[in-house]
Amino acid sequence: MSALLLNTFYYILFTILFAIVFFLIFDKLMSSVDNQIVEVDGMHYMVPVFNGFRKDPRMIKDVGSVLVCESLAEIMNQKVKMNYPVPGAKSVTTGNSIFSDCYHPETGVMADYHSGEHYKFEGPSLYNSNENDFYDRHVIEEIKKEHITKNKMNYVEVPYLVDMCTWNHQNDNYDCKDYVDRGKRKEKIKNYLRDQLSVLF
C-alpha cells in the first residue's frame, strides 16, 4: 500500500514539475513574439514576428534590380550605389541591416525593383519558402519605408508590372510574360522612373 502511495506521489510531483517547466518554456517563446501591421494590396494584416528564432527571407535579386540601378544612373547622369543599407533600418527578426537596390546620394533617392514574388505567395519557391517568408518580407519593406521617410530621403518602388506586363483594356487586367527582351524592359523601367522622379522633384 505504501509503495502505491509513493508511486502516486512521484507521479503527481513529476506532472506538476513537467507543467511548470512547460509553461516557463512557453512563456519564454511567447515573449519573443512581436506583432507588426503589414499592408498587402490595400489590406492590413497583423503578422507575428518571432525574434531570434527565424532567419530573414532570402533577398529577391532579379535582373530588374540591375535595370533599375542602370536606368537611375543614366537619368541622373551620375553613378548610383547598389545594395545600399538604409540608415537605421534593421530587421525585427534578426537585427540585420535592410538594403535598397539602388541609392543616388546627391538626391537621396532609393529605388527597388519588386518582382512577382514580392506581391503574391503561390506556394514554396526559391525566395518564399513559406508564408512566413512572404509576410516577413512585407514587414521588412514597411520598416525600410519608415526609415527612408525618417531620414528625409525619397523612395521609388518599381513593380514587375512596369516591365513584364501590359495592360489589357478588353479584360481590364494585366497580361504578364515570363520573358521580355532586356532592352524593352529597361526602356519601360527608365520611362517609369522618369515619371516618378518628376513627381518627387
- For the stretch 6-28, pLDDT in tens is 777 777 877 888 778 777 666 65
What percentage of the chain exceeds 90 in pLDDT? 48
| pLDDT confidence of residue 189 | 97
| Across 17-41, average pLDDT | 62
How far apart are the C-alpha atoms of 76 and 88, rounded to whole Å?
A: 25
| pLDDT confidence of residue 153 | 95
Structure confidence by residue, pLDDT tens digits, 65-89: 999 999 999 999 999 999 999 999 9
| Domain regions of the chain by residue span | 2-50, 63-200
User: Over 70: is that where the pLDDT of 64 sits?
Assistant: yes
| Across 87-115, average pLDDT | 93
| pLDDT confidence of residue 46 | 56
* Among 73, 76, 68, 81, CA closest to 163: 68
pTM here? 0.71
Third-level CATH fold of 63-200? Endonuclease; Chain A (3.40.960)
Q: Regarding predicted confidence, which is higher, 56 or 41?
A: 56
